């Protein structure tokens, strides 16, 4: 069964460093999303992406964040200068149409030291 | 601003029992509502999606209902099994195309 894959599963970085989290959505999906979940808290929407541009973004998704679909398969989330409070699980999701079931990856645990 | 609340926060029941998880949301202008399962340290698995025009969806031992006007949804699990132990998340898709999640209900099925 097709699935969303995320790499790495765990990323450790120093405060102030740039990180890139990678996702490979399901191949025929057209809509892509990033979410984060701080330990013990709710899953929070970050950004949605369609047709090579951002569709929606939350207040969390500030200038430190960016997304890119550099080729036909990858979807990346870049955090330019990480802060301690960026430590969280980051989930990628994709769907074939905007109002349909979203399929989630297993997540990347980001630890900022 | 949409708020999604799930009650209870945690639930333990003996194996074999039927159970109901509750989700409420403050803004009824939604496209759909989705129930997910999250195992510890893992991603989210979609269980059921109910479109705003629907009242319920069923998959195996799971049944989800939606009462949009009152801002409520329930997830009914029949004949619970230890493998059902997980956190169950409710999420609504708003008209602004943002998904808002509840904090989840941690379910523990006692063998």
pLDDT tens-digit profile of B61-88?
999 999 999 999 999 999 999 999 999 9
- Nearest chain B CA: its distance from A109 CA (Å): 9
Mutate to test the interface with B, among A42, A60, A92, A106 (most CBs of B within 10 A): A42
Of B44, B98, B104, the CB nearest to A91: B44
Residues B63 and B9: their CA atoms lie apart, in Å, by 20
Q: According to the model, what pLDDT value does residue A70 have?
A: 84
Q: According to the model, what pLDDT value does residue B5 have?
A: 97
Decide if pLDDT at B98 tops 90.
no
Mean of all residue pLDDT scores within chain A:
93
Spatial contact of B51 and B57, defined as CB atoms under 8 Å apart:
no
How many of the other CB atoms lie within 10 Å of CB of B76? Answer: 15
Q: According to the model, what pLDDT value does residue B73 have?
A: 98
Decide if pLDDT at B31 tops 80.
yes
B1-5, B29-33, B41-45: least confident range? B41-45
Q: According to the model, what pLDDT value does residue B95 have?
A: 85
Q: In this predicted model, what pLDDT tens digit does every residue of A33-76 receive, in sequence order?
A: 999 999 989 999 999 999 999 999 999 999 999 999 988 789 99
- Nearest chain A CA: its distance from B32 CA (Å): 7
pLDDT band at B42 (very low <50, low <70, confident <90, very high): confident
In this complex, do A104 and B36 lie within 8 Å of one another by their Cβ atoms?
yes
Q: Which of residues 6-45 of A touch B (CB under 8 A)?
A: 6, 33, 35, 41-45
Q: Percent of chain A scored above 70 by pLDDT?
A: 100
Number of Cβ pairs closer than 8 Å across A and B?
51
Q: Percent of chain B scored above 90 by pLDDT?
A: 86
Mean of all residue pLDDT scores within chain B:
94
Residues A64 and A67: their CA atoms lie apart, in Å, by 10
Decide if pLDDT at A85 tops 90.
yes
Q: Are strands A31-37 and A88-95 parallel, antiparallel or unpaired?
A: antiparallel
- Is A104 near chain B, with CB under 8 Å? yes
Residues B94 and B111: their CA atoms lie apart, in Å, by 38
Residues A112 and A83: their CA atoms lie apart, in Å, by 7
Residue A84's SS3 state is: helix
Residue A10: CB partners within 8 Å, gap ≥ 6? Answer: A108, A109, A111
Tokens 């009242």 identify what position? B55
Give A-chain residues touching B96 at CB under 8 angstroms. 56
pLDDT band at B40 (very low <50, low <70, confident <90, very high): confident
- Is B65 near chain A, with CB under 8 Å? no
HSE-CB of A23 using CA atoms within 13 angstroms: 31
């Amino acid at each position: 069964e097709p699935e969303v894959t995320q790499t790495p599963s765990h990323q450790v970085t120093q405060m102030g460093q740039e990180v890139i989290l990678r996702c490979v959505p399901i191949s025929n999906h057209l809509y892509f999303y990033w979410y984060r979940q701080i330990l013990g808290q709710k899953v929070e929407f970050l950004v949605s992406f369609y047709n090579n541009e951002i569709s929606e973004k939350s207040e969390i998704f500030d200038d430190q964040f960016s997304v890119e679909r550099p080729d036909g398969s990858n979807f990346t989330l870049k955090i330019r200068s990480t802060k301690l409070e960026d430590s969280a699980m980051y989930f990628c999701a994709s769907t074939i149409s905007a109002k349909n079931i979203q399929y989630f990856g297993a997540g990347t645990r980001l630890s900022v030291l | 601003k949409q708020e999604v609340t799930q009650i209870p926060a945690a639930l333990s029941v003996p194996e074999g029992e039927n159970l109901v998880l509750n989700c409420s949301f403050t803004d009824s202008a939604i496209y759909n509502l989705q129930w997910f399962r999250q195992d510890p340290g893992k991603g989210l698995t979609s269980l059921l999606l109910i479109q705003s025009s629907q009242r319920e969806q069923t998959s195996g031992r799971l049944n989800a209902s939606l009462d949009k006007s009152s801002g409520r949804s329930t997830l009914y699990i029949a004949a619970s099994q230890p493998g059902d132990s997980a956190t169950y998340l409710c999420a609504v898709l708003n008209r602004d195309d943002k998904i808002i999640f509840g904090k989840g209900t941690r379910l523990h099925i006692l063998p």
